[in-house]
A = this chain, B = another copy of it.
Amino acid sequence: MEREWNDNQPIYRQLRDRVVAMILDGVLKEGDPLPSVRNVAAEYRVNPLTVLKGYQQLVAEGLVESRRGRGMFINAGARSVLLQGERQKFLGEEWPRIQSAIQRLGLKVEELLNGSRPSSTAAPSKPAKSDPPEEES
């Protein structure tokens, strides 16, 4: 299991993202309880407050309900709300940047999407001008 925090994102946000992924993947279904704050904290060797903060993101998004003394539970409709929201965020904010990066690196989007491994020896020796960034003296 992933006990590491590879990214450059704060842990509490990665935690939030993992729960979101679990909901989307159907590992956590609506009505299910989230693993308890203390358990997660112990399991991932992280401060309970950090876990709580991640969870409360989800509460703020309306995906999860917190019942004191009982636990935190996934709301009805969470998955579809998520599916729509995360899609929009991905297509609107992330994908454009990803596409730029791919092009900049001389990689083919189609190859990547089709899962074919690039040989990584074919490098464009000429820059592919497309969207010249700004610069000023």
Q: CB within 8 A of A26: which of B102, B105, B129, B135?
A: B129
Chain B residues, CB < 8 A from A87: 105-107, 118, 120
Chain B residues, CB < 8 A from A101: 86, 90, 94
Please tell me how many copies of the chain the complex holds: 2
**Contact surface of A with B, Cβ cutoff 8 Å:** 1-2, 6, 8-10, 13, 18, 21-22, 24-28, 35-36, 39, 43, 79-80, 83-84, 86-88, 90-91, 93-95, 98, 100-102, 104-107, 109-114, 118, 120, 123-124, 126-137
Give 7 closest A-B pairs by Cβ, nearest first. Answer: A26-B127, A1-B134, A24-B104, A109-B113, A87-B105, A22-B133, A83-B123
